[in-house]
Amino acid sequence: MSSNKSYQADKFYINGKWVEPASLARIGVVNPATGEVFTSIAAGNATDIDRAVRAAKQAFPAFSRTTREQRVELLQRVYEIYERRKLEIAQVLIEECGFPRALAEGSQVGLGSGHLAKTIEVLKTFPFTELRGTTLVAREAAGVIGAITPWNWPINQIVCKIAPALAAGATLVLKPSELSPLNALIIAEIFDEAGVPPGVFNLVNGDGLNAGAALASHPDVDVISFTGSTRAGTAIAKAAADSVKRVHQELGGKSPFIILPNSNLRKAVTDGVLGSFLNVGQTCTAPTRLLVPREKLKEVEEIATEVANSQRVGLPTEEGVTLGPLISDAQKAKVQRLIKSGIDEGAKLLAGGLGAPEGLEQGYFVRPTVFSQVTSKHTIYHEEIFGPVQSIIAYDDVNHAIQIANDTPYGLAGYVHGNDLEQVRDVASQIRAGVIYLNSPQWDYGAPFGGYKTSGNGREYADFAIHDFTEIKGVVGYQV
């Protein structure tokens, strides 16, 4: 059990109160570093979801009429309390997700701060109304939002949905991943302390089959915002179809990292491999396909091997650890299966491979792995692995690189490295993906985030997210 827990794992936050669940069902929460259950949460069902949705629906008329200034003040209070509790959240993330301490206390909780600050900033000037001739174009809160969030960057995905939804004047029901539910309980405490009106924010824990499906299909939910696998996103879209609700999906990815012939090879390869290994590869935008000039393949292989072998896999609480465990036994089995397929199908194994790192047989640890000479005949060329596995793919010329980059059903992200900025920009314009990163830029909370093709639809972050949580109304004859 967590030694300093404050969260109420046996209850849900509905209509401004911590309430008892409808059933006694529980879900164990596993520490990925040990493989052992260390606590459990109440498992919500359709009855709990209905209660939360009804609270959100009842709160919507009043909250949607609050002023921009009132919502700015509310989110500012949330931000201040969040900052005070960041380290507490980080400790919970270490336990339930296995994030190394540096990652938990850095990017994992830091992204929450960044999204709150950016949402507050853009809300102050967001164009809720615009006069076009005699017609007023108004952006009004879309209604009740159902947010279903994942376990890999839990705080990022919770905050980048909740903050813009509330900024828009919408009300919300959150169903976080059952694999990482505890941080969300602290988020609920933060919103409660900040004085969010009853029913505006609600939280129900549970699995996808029961709580998630009930939320997606509920007729009084106006928008579903989901982040997760393409398979699950497809099921949610089908469940939502009967009530014709809007569905925003941020789904899987198989992102290319194109290294142009004139690149700084060592920096580009290092950035590509480290990007692929970030969060043990459990990142939807991970640049898992490293596309390199064929004539530089040998040099790239040497650098990539060196970078992979420099990574330290270990317990999340140990100093200097760069890679912790995967989230679950099922995820570990999937990654092992795909590594084995790479070996069996003849890809060139440069680093890592099957099995756990020495001394880390307990828990869900895997070896950071790099394959080279990967082609379209290999399973790892096509499937999203969601583990620390990098595939090096050789190309003949830049047009060939662009063809390979787009040779995927996914389209979430892309990366381009090169010393000729005009060429880098030109290549970026030809990659069919929702966000492209040029020469490893600084993170931008104001950039739109979302995918093409089976990577989803809709956009998150900043004003783009507020936009997607509004409906557009035309008031004709507003001005005469």
* Predicted pLDDT at 5: 63
Q: Among positive and negative, which fits the CA dihedral 285, 288, 294, 298?
A: positive
CB hemisphere CA count around 412 (13 angstroms): 23
Asked whether residue 7 carries a pLDDT value surpassing 90, the answer given is no
pLDDT band at 155 (very low <50, low <70, confident <90, very high): very high
Alpha helices (runs of H) in 125-229, residue ranges in sequence order? 154-168, 182-194, 213-217
Which of 116, 139, 145 has its CA nearest to residue 127? 139
pLDDT band at 480 (very low <50, low <70, confident <90, very high): confident
Task: Give me the pLDDT at residue 1, please.
Answer: 34
Q: Answer yes or no: is pLDDT of 329 > 60.
A: yes
Q: In percent, how much of the chain has pLDDT > 70?
A: 99
Q: How far is the C-alpha of 355 from the C-alpha of 254, rounded, in Å?
A: 24
Q: Residue 413 pLDDT > 80, yes or no?
A: yes
All structural domains of the chain: 12-251+455-475 (3.40.605.10), 256-444 (3.40.309.10)
State mean pLDDT over 472-480.
Answer: 96
Phi, psi of 331, rounded to the nearest 5 degrees: -70, -40
pLDDT of residue 2: 40
Q: Residue 4 pLDDT more than 60?
A: no
Identify the active-site residue in 88, 250, 384, 460: 250
pLDDT for position 422: 98
**Can you give the pLDDT at residue 6?**
66
Neighbours of 480 (CB within 10 A): 4
Task: Considering the candidates 97, 178, 189, 284, report the single residue annotated as catalytic.
Answer: 284
Question: Where do we find the tokens 């040990």?
Answer: 34
Give 6 or 459, the one with higher predicted confidence.
Answer: 459
Q: What residues contact 146, with CB distance under 8 A and at least 6 apart?
A: 53, 172, 173, 175, 215, 216, 218, 221, 223, 224, 225
Q: What would the two tokens of residue 73 be? A: 């003040």
Spatial CB neighbours of 439, under 8 Å, sequence gap ≥ 6: 416, 417, 418, 421, 424
207 phi/psi in degrees, rounded to 5: -90, 175
Task: Supply 357's token pair.
Answer: 């790192």
Cα(281)–Cα(1) distance, rounded to whole angstroms? Answer: 27
pLDDT band at 3 (very low <50, low <70, confident <90, very high): very low
Q: 362-398 pLDDT, tens per residue? A: 999 999 999 999 999 999 999 999 999 999 999 999 9
Query: What mean pLDDT do residues 401-425 have?
Result: 98
pTM score of the predicted model: 0.96
**pLDDT of the residue at 451:** 97
CA–CA separation, 61 and 339 (whole Å)? 52
Q: Are 204 and 49 a contacting pair, CB within 8 Å? A: yes
Nearest CA among 190, 173, 200, 192 for reference residue 62: 200
Whether 151 shows a pLDDT value over 90: the answer reads yes
Mean pLDDT score of the chain = 97
Phi first, then psi, for residue 135 (nearest 5°) are -105, 135
Rounded mean pLDDT, 344-355:
98
pLDDT digits (tens, 9 = 90+) for 76-131: 999 999 999 999 999 999 999 999 999 999 999 999 999 999 999 999 999 999 99
What is the reported pLDDT for 475?
98
Mean per-residue pLDDT, 262-269: 98
Q: Is 73 a catalytic residue?
A: no
Q: What is the mean pLDDT of residues 401-411?
A: 98
Residue 284 annotated as catalytic = yes
